[in-house]
Structure 1
């Protein structure tokens, strides 16, 4: 399975990174930084509107090379100017051609929250995210035990980091809730075979209480998709390939927000009329 390969590659990478920068050194660097987040991202997601996390991604296992031109700092600036709510930065190198250096560089050109998008399987990666400027980390339920989920959530909070806890099915959503996740991302992509079912997130939405913010991930390509997600009472969407391929990224972001806002206004009118 692709997910197994991704985890194995991550284990090898982190072992090498630990030899270069020992855990204790990285931990001291992380703990020396402020543990007070610049923004409470979980709380931000509960404010009105559809919130958008735009991704910086040049390749993936399912699509191969998505873009050949990757001026990621320019794209980060464009996202910021368009009013993006957060930027997801791929740091996994073997399959996504990401780099931890991208995260560090993007931190220098924007003040919006940054999500380190990677396969977090070791506390080392959480400290590493903090040191390199992340505000949010990704925790994928499918590759972590219940104890790891709880421990990593606690470690992230102690460092002033927010965790986006990703689930793909009902059992994983329940595990995320039991661990205390405040933001759950429902992935429409099955990480075992990388197939996409856009309706997956909508089917699982009812399992999550309104006190927990919910993000729909993968397969969101056009304004109608954003409208459907918003109608299902999601707090936000994570958009990667569609934004990376868009000629006018700012316009697509604005269109997503406008369509979702129009849909919300229509729902309010219907409810008022009822």
Structure 2
């Protein structure tokens, strides 16, 4: 059983429990449900966009504790000061030490940049939940879902006014997306089954993605020169978490990184 298998099995149990306790009606009635989401597409493609999607991540299965000293409030302020294109927040508790409260707290501070809810979506309920807690974008990981689920969950997110970051790691994942046009497609350089990182992965898969879609490179980006190199392959977004979070001041680390790619 891979780490991903464990996470997905646990997540399904977790969501079944939450669904039994929280009616969808309650989510729909939450104040955040009425807000108009901020577009990640627009943020990544606007003139002078940094393209950086900066992540708040306390820990991970492969690295253990990354940073449990800083608060989501100070990191959010730091990322906004650095002029990130978007913010990503882990809401998985058991494996990544995140919470939905983290995203809600960030949302009260961050009113100008899109927020990606980073989690393992295995049920349509989580998409409604993402809207209720103030997310603008949901992550759909192809390795965790069938082609039918990707299509249905993607449609539900769109119907709710949310955008979707479709995450792929290999050709098999890409093939699950029936239509590649006009999507935001994230290529994860980390194999979720082994947690090994290979930056060549972004470049290899990039050629399979049409120019109408927005390409995002995820994981293992630790050097501003990597961003410059990926831009040559038409990447517009760069999801970076660990590289900033391992610093004592993630916001400052992000600012210094962005200063080098401008």
TM-score (norm 1): 0.88
Distance 2:212 2:182 in 1: 10
Provide structure 1 residue ranges, at least 5 long, that are not aligned to the other structure: 262-274
* Counterpart in the other structure of 1:93: 93
* Counterpart in the other structure of 1:64: 64
Distance 1:248 1:226 in 2: 21
After TM superposition, list the pairs within 5 Å mapping 1:1-274 onto structure 2: 1-26=2-27, 28-29=28-29, 33-34=33-34, 36-37=36-37, 39-48=38-47, 49-111=49-111, 112-176=113-177, 178=179, 182-261=183-262
Worse-matched range after superposition: 134-143 or 177-186: 177-186
| 1:143-199 alpha-carbon deviations (Å, 9 max, x no partner) | 111111111111111111111000001221233352666100000000011111111
Q: How many residues align?
A: 259
Give the direction of change, closer, same or farther, for the CA distance of 1:187–1:177 in structure 2 (3 Å limit). farther
Give the direction of change, closer, same or farther, for the CA distance of 1:44–1:184 in structure 2 (3 Å limit). same
Report if the CA contact (8 A) 1:30-1:127 is conserved.
no
Provide structure 2 residue ranges, at least 5 long, that are not aligned to the other structure: none
Distance 1:260 1:118 in 2: 28
Deviation at 1:259, TM superposition (A): 4.0
| Alignment root-mean-square deviation, CA | 2.0
Tell me which protein shows more helix as a share of its residues.
1
Alignment partner of 2:134: what SS?
A: coil
Give the direction of change, closer, same or farther, for the CA distance of 1:163–1:91 in structure 2 (3 Å limit). same
Distance 1:31 1:247 in 2: 34
TM-score (norm 2): 0.91
Bigger Rg over Cα:
1
Report if the CA contact (8 A) 1:215-1:236 is conserved.
yes
Report if the CA contact (8 A) 2:77-2:251 is conserved.
no
